[in-house]
Structure 1
Amino acid sequence: MYGTRVSLTKKQAFNFCEMSCLSRDQEVCVMAWGDPHESEVLVGSVNGTVKTFSTDKGIFTATRECGDHSQGRFTGLAVTDSSMITCVESGLLKVWKEGSTETVEVNVGNEICRMRQNPSQRHHVATGGKENPLKVWDLERPDKPIFTAKNVAHDWLDMRVPVWVRVYDPSTPQRRPVLEAQFGEYPLTALSLPASQDTVVVGNTHGELAILDLRKGLVRGCLKGLAGAVRGLQCHPSLPLVASCGLDRFLRVHSLEDRSLQHKVYLKSRLSCVLLSSRELESSADLSGDVEEVKAEEEKDEVWDNMETVTEKTKKRAAQKDEASVTGVDGKKKRKLVKK
């Protein structure tokens, strides 16, 4: 919730904030790498500040006021060569240029749920939200979107078709989706593309994770082990792994090849988002207490997994009675129940 680094190879978790002086308005909403070398992490909080964390020094090095709490939470955070991009729920997208107090403001519509950057064209971003269809923006020409999605036609009952996972092709005049995939009946809360990009991993409000095939629109498989809504989800940039976090306060890493659970770490605080590193980060602080807590949690899991299931047969009331054979006055044998 407030900034934790987890090393799965060393079985260590490091909290870089003083928990005793934190408040709810410092809750982390979004995270993004600040440079291609992954030496800085940008952390956006509920109170509208964006902090810069140095992975080499292990400390926060800068804080910038990038919004007002009344405008809503951050829904996206990204960087270009010399600028930082922020977007909030009210639909205000800002481009913060380095070394300048002036910002470029773009109104992308109300009730924005997510803003994402195109990794291959970093000046292109996509936005979408409630009653606000997908739009693609060119921040070099932000006057109007370069692509606006169009909803599909109503069904045979003239009712609106709910939005699940849709694939669009902005290179064609077609503004409706070219493919649609459905999963379950609960709202989706997180989505991430693996390195192969022929599938997508989605999570919903009931802790269900699924791998969807973007070529056929079918569910390829499900990832088990979660409890509670999925809050954060990210696939590794090069390995077939996906990390997820949710309301149950566990960080889980699943394999996308056999869908097995690779790692499970209890992190105590409420988790809202996750950011994976493509390289091993060294810690400059000695936090052995947190290391012991992670190991203890894993040992508990192993103990519970190895315990045998003991079943106890319930004793019925009839089993507590004995049968006795007696001879009646007519000379016939009869059975008589005798209580113990």
Structure 2
Amino acid sequence: MKVLVAAEDSGSLKEISFPFGTNTSVQQFAQPAITTFASAGRSSYVQRMIIAKLDTGKEYICIARKGGIVQLYDIDSPHTPFVEWKDMTHPSDDAFVGLEYVEGKLSSCTATGKLIMRDLHSISDSTNEYYTLLGEPINAFRVHPNQPNVIAYGGKERELEISIIQNMHRRESDSNTDSESDRSSSWYIAAIPTGRSLSHRKLWKAKNVKNDELDLRVPVWISDIRFLDVNRNSGTDFRVVVSTRFGHVRVYETKYSRKPIVNVEVGDHPLIALSPYINDNEIIYCDTNSTTARFNLINGRNGGHYSGAAGSILCLDSFFPEQEQERARTDANEGDAPSATGLHSGELPLLATGGLDRYLRIYNLQTREIVAKVFVGAKLSAVCIVDGNSAVPSEHMSERESDEEDDEETVDGGRIKTEGERKRRKKLKVQEGGATDGIESNKRQKRARLHDDVPSDDDDDDADDVWNLLDADEEESRIKKEEDDDKGNYETEKAGQGQRRR
């Protein structure tokens, strides 16, 4: 399989190719092929990354860098730069909070609320750039997957809002086309008298939940947004899920209420990002405490954790094969839960995670089993699965087994056992030999404590004398204890006989 990651430390992109079962923490395992390109330094690290597929069928890597730079790179090696746009943010330290490509339109949004849309069908045309101001602050931005004129955004002390771009329209003659190229070219942005401005109108705005048990206002801080049930035909009926920096997952039905229909605090730590699952009834979330989990939006419960991370997870990406997507839609329409049957080798729904521990981890999205683990060597700010096809091994790698695997050193042809290996061998011997009595256990503990002061040479006579003396002392104390017990029992029995005579 092939995965793209963005390294925050160097501001570069890395293309990683590897099969399932890869684990770079074990030397004997297969090692990945890593190609580094597009280095720009930490001051211009990648904040957002997506894959943009144009109507010509050509795919490009689209990235948004710190400093207001948006670039397109060829997805095939040697990853030559295709086009670059500068000064997309103002001021220059403004951060990108959203980068979306929907039906030929590339949308970027910053924390100050500057929204810029470009039509990638005419990239060379400098007049195809349109912008508007959504107001600040904004921490999350999302474009509807099937309606590029519908946007959702929110942030710190700013509730979720859904707006429509009024001067973006669908061509009537292309509304019933089925091909991907026709669909992407059916939307166009009409010019307005004020120039290249976007005219947006608010469709819906959320309302805060009721006060807490102390009658205090619940703070608002939206960190990510996802549209659900995107195949709805209504232009004003949306189902949206959001995550907050206060550990909440909330689901909104715009048709019925401004308040969330589901509001669950899934943890005590801030949530960072959301990623879709194979059906619209569940969502994947991650927080600042190395937690990545699946959340059921129907019953409000966790569906299981994707374990293994040792630090905060900063980026997520889900991969769904074409057959899996069609089957998931069919199951969802029939009301059945998705299953893993009927998939060919390599056609697995996957989840990629990356963060502070500098590891890229690939999970089976359904079973939550880790299928690959790659050390990247830099903090990851973005991840994207390009190709998820790979031969599935007969035995999947276990994260617990990979973490317990110890390095080995060789001196003069001999093998030195590491501390972890000695502990495992000792545990195995105890299990095979059964439980030992208390005297032998105490004897081993005393010998272990005394071992630091006695030379470890097997031929040391002084060490043997120490062990013999220790055994003699223990044997003497044991005999004395038995004699005292016998004497106590005899006196007790004699006193009882005297009482019966009286």
Q: TM-score over 0.5 for the alignment?
A: yes
* Deviation digits for residues 159-199 of structure 1 (CA, Å, limit 9, x no counterpart): 233641111112x1411111123312100011101222221
Alignment partner for residue 155 of structure 1, among 206, 212, 215?
Answer: 212
Match of 1:83 in 2: 105
Q: Tell me whether 1:169 sits opposite 2:253 in the alignment.
A: yes
Q: Given the alignment, which residue of 104, 110, 130 partners 2:156?
A: 130
Of 369, 386, 405 in structure 2, the residue corresponding to residue 277 of structure 1 is 386
1:1-340 matches, within 5 Å, as 1=7, 2-9=12-19, 11-18=32-39, 22-35=40-53, 37=57, 39-57=59-77, 58-65=79-86, 66-68=88-90, 70=92, 72-97=94-119, 98=123, 99-101=125-127, 103-140=129-166, 142-161=199-218, 163=244, 164-170=248-254, 172-238=255-321, 239-278=348-387, 303-304=405-406, 308=421, 309-310=424-425, 314-315=445-446, 316=449, 321=470, 323=473
Q: Could you tell me which residue of structure 1 aligns to residue 331 of structure 2?
A: none
1:128 to partner: Cα distance: 1.5
More moved, 76-85 vs 213-222:
76-85
Displacement of 1:64: 1.0
Whether the aligned pair in 2 keeps the contact of 1:201 and 1:209 (CA below 8 Å) is yes
How far apart in 2 are the matches of 1:173 and 1:96? 34
Gaps of 5+ in 1: 282-298, 327-332, 335-340
Higher fraction of helix: 2
When normalised by structure 1's length, the TM-score is: 0.80
Render the CA deviation track for 1:234-283: whole Å, top value 9, x for unaligned: 111334321110011111111222211111101112210111225669xx
Deviations 1:64-88 (A, max 9, x none): 1122453511111123445321111
Structure 2: how far apart are the matches of 1:175 and 1:49?
36
- CA deviation string 1:315-336 (max 9, x = no partner): 346998553979xxxxxx99xx
Change (3 A) 1:165 1:38: farther
Kept after mapping to 2: 8 A contact 1:89/1:110: yes
Which range is displaced more, 85-94 or 203-212?
Answer: 85-94
Q: Pick which of 112-121 and 311-320 moved more.
A: 311-320
TM-score by length of 2: 0.55
Asked if 1 retains the 8 angstrom alpha-carbon contact of 2:105 and 2:148, the reply is: no
CA distance in structure 2 between the partners assigned to 1:207 and 1:230 by the alignment? 6
> How many residue pairs are counted as aligned between the two chains?
307
Q: 8 Å contact 1:250–1:264 — kept in the other structure?
A: yes
Deviates more, 1:239-248 or 1:77-86: 77-86
Q: CA deviation at 1:301?
A: 6.2
Instruction: Identify the structure with bigger relative contact order (alpha carbons < 8 Å, sequence gap 6+).
Output: 2
* Equivalent pair of 1:193/1:199 in contact (CA under 8 Å): yes
Change (3 A) 1:314 1:91: farther
- Structure 2 gaps of 5+ residues are 1-6, 21-31, 168-198, 220-243, 322-347, 391-400, 409-419, 428-443, 451-465, 478-482, 485-502
Give the 3-state SS of the residue equivalent to 1:207 in structure 2: coil
More strand by share: 1
Cα distance in 2 for partners of 1:216, 1:244 equals: 25
The one-letter amino acid of 1:23's match is G
**Code of the aligned partner of 2:97:** T
* Identity value in percent: 27
Q: Secondary structure at the match of 1:242?
A: strand
One-letter amino acid of the counterpart of residue 77, structure 1: L
* CA distance in 1: counterparts of 2:363 and 2:37, whole angstroms: 26
Match of 1:226, as an amino acid? Answer: A
Deviation at 1:93, TM superposition (A): 1.4
What's the CA shift for 1:151? 1.0
RMSD between superposed Cα atoms in Å = 3.2
In the TM superposition, residue 300 of structure 1 has moved relative to its aligned partner by: 8.0
Cα displacement string for residues 40-60 of structure 1 (whole angstroms, at most 9, x for unaligned residues): 011111121111110134222
Q: CA separation in 1, counterparts of 2:133 and 2:407?
A: 52
Native 8 Å contact 2:166 2:200 kept in 1: no
AA matched with 1:14: T
Distance in 2 (alpha carbons) for counterparts of 1:173 and 1:325 = 84
Answer yes or no: is the 8 Å Cα contact 1:124–1:137 preserved in 2.
yes
